[in-house]
Structure 1
Amino acid sequence: MAQIEYKDLLDAGVHFGHLTRKWDPRMAPYIFMEKNGIHIVDLNKTLSCLDQAENAIKQIVRSGRKIMFVATKKQAQEIVTEEAKRLKMPYVTDRWLGGMLTNFGTIRKSLKKLQTLDKMLSDEATVNNIAKRERLMLSREQEKLNRVLGGVADLTRLPAALFVVDVKREHIAVSEAQRLNIPVFAICDTNSNPDLVDFPIPGNDDAYKSISLLTLAVGKAIEEGLMERKQDKDDQRLAEEEEAKRQSDLRNETESDEETKAAAPKAVVEESDEE
């Protein structure tokens, strides 16, 4: 995995925080200085926190669990959607439905409804038998559900962790994750409360370049975790094949010994008859 350097963060403007009057005092440990009425994030802390977050994410993904991406602000939607789709991870980029985690059973019902609509509207014979007005209403409902739940359509159980772009904006998602003890990885700007998340990544959560750089870093960590998981599976399969071969050889050897023992008395009897 390509390591992000101090210069990369600087070029992406990760160090630019909010106006000093908008700051959250709990972000003080991650702030380097104040310049022209704006807080500057300590990029050394960003690198350190990002490294910790990447290692934790890799372990979660390596165990076969999912990381949910959450970013509903306009400048983050495109990059987060692309990265989540590439990694086949669940994502929410339109709006967070209250209870998406804490009331997951209801969300699953909505997902089943979406699947039913997809199946119904993709069947030409069924579509032709539906009145035009009803078909239009069903199409609109399908579009709405796809927009809100399309990113979690393949989610069959709760995600193992959340990656959040803006803690203040996604406070409902963070709150639900806290209630369910789901770890949260989040980009925390100078106006955020880092105590609300398990792995804060101090940095600019408004600029596209900053969001893109940090999101891609998290994406690479997930990708590496997936590769390690694949390697683990391959190693396990090889070990199982070797064990099966060893057991087979052992059985063949045992059967051969038994046949030899069974044939030995017969040979002795034949020799005795000849005498």
Structure 2
Amino acid sequence: MANPEKTKALLDAGVHFGHLTRKWHPNMAPYIFMERNGIHIIDLHKTQAKLEDAQRALTKIAASGRKILFVATKKQGKEIVAEFAAEANMPYITERWAGGMLTNFVTIRKAIKKMANIDKMKADGTFETLSKRERLQVDRQRAKLEKNLGSIADMSRLPAAIFVVDVLREHIAVEEARKLNIPVFAMVDTNSDPLLVDFPIPANDDASKSISIIMSEVTTAIKEGLSQRKNEKEKAGNEKVAKKAAKVATND
């Protein structure tokens, strides 16, 4: 059952505003409530239901200790997604999506290793032995790598899922994930095909307020999963200590 308070919050954020009717994708029909002044209006009850489905799945993934990669290169969502993803300790791509980011992950890992090697050079003093011109070139290379790969530097393996803002803009990321059977979560506007996504969330993917409220809900679910994992680890640790203490007491 829809939560009236959440419905109002989504409404106030403009999540219901779709695209012009002439730009719609027919597969979005089940999620469209009505047409108003030539614009499709998204059914927020459907949005809530799909958002809850996505949240449950994301909580499970986070609780398992696996990573969710966030992708949003459009101007309206870059900073918002970077902020929320960082809060949830998840990797994100907000600059250009490099083709093969998923399907050619070995090459991406090499680039990340190159960035780590430069950092090591700076830490052990090797960097200072280079000429001024060489240092400048290395710094430029490091800056470029940081811009494109900085947020995924700690991603040692493929993500368990990706979350996308704007399926059309990030179609390469979606295609790569689908090719590798990586679940795709996404904000899907009325001009996009929800069938390309495992967990579509019908929503306005152009307005910053809309992106922000969906990201807030999504990362809250991820944080809940991380909290569950932390509690389970602490519980297992306490049980281990208790068993060890009991064994020592028995031997005494």
Q: TM-score range by the shorter chain?
A: over 0.9
Distance 1:72-1:11 versus aligned 2 partners, 3 A rule: same
Question: What residue is the counterpart of 1:158 in the other structure?
Answer: 158
Distance 1:9-1:115 versus aligned 2 partners, 3 A rule: same
Question: What residue is the counterpart of 1:43 in the other structure?
Answer: 44
CA drift of 1:251 comes to 3.6
CA contact (8 A) 1:41 1:203 kept: yes
- Structure 2 SS opposite 1:116: helix
Distance across 2 between alignment mates of 1:226 and 1:215: 16
* 1:53-202 mapped onto 2 (5 Å cutoff): 53-122=54-123, 125-202=125-202
Distance across 2 between alignment mates of 1:233 and 1:129: 45
Render the CA deviation track for 1:53-104: whole Å, top value 9, x for unaligned.
0011000100111111110101111011111222221110001111111111
TM-score by length of 2: 0.95
Q: Which moved more, 1:133-142 or 1:69-78?
A: 133-142
- Structure 2 SS opposite 1:206: coil
Render the CA deviation track for 1:1-32: whole Å, top value 9, x for unaligned.
xx970000000000000000000000000000
Q: Which amino acid aligns with 2:205?
A: D
Distance across 2 between alignment mates of 1:198 and 1:109: 30
Distance across 2 between alignment mates of 1:246 and 1:17: 62
Provide the alpha-carbon RMSD of the alignment.
1.6
- Structure 2 SS opposite 1:74: coil
CA drift of 1:121 comes to 3.8
Question: What residue is the counterpart of 1:270 in the other structure?
Answer: none
Distance across 2 between alignment mates of 1:40 and 1:197: 20
Q: Which amino acid aligns with 1:51?
A: E
CA contact (8 A) 1:4 1:217 kept: no
Q: Which amino acid aligns with 1:94?
A: E
TM-score by length of 1: 0.87
**Unpaired segments ≥5 residues, structure 2:** none
CA contact (8 A) 1:30 1:202 kept: yes
Distance across 1 between alignment mates of 2:185 and 2:84: 16
Identity %: 58
Q: Which moved more, 1:20-29 or 1:84-93?
A: 84-93
Question: What residue is the counterpart of 1:33 in the other structure?
Answer: 34
- Structure 1 SS opposite 2:96: coil
CA contact (8 A) 2:28 2:193 kept: yes
Q: Which runs of 4+ in 1 moved over 6 A?
A: none
Distance across 1 between alignment mates of 2:59 and 2:106: 28
- Aligned length, in residue pairs: 250
Distance across 2 between alignment mates of 1:169 and 1:75: 12
CA contact (8 A) 1:69 1:163 kept: yes
Distance 1:244-1:189 versus aligned 2 partners, 3 A rule: same
Q: Which moved more, 1:131-140 or 1:202-211?
A: 131-140
**Unpaired segments ≥5 residues, structure 1:** 253-275
Render the CA deviation track for 1:184-240: whole Å, top value 9, x for unaligned.
110000011111111000000000000011011111111111111111111111222
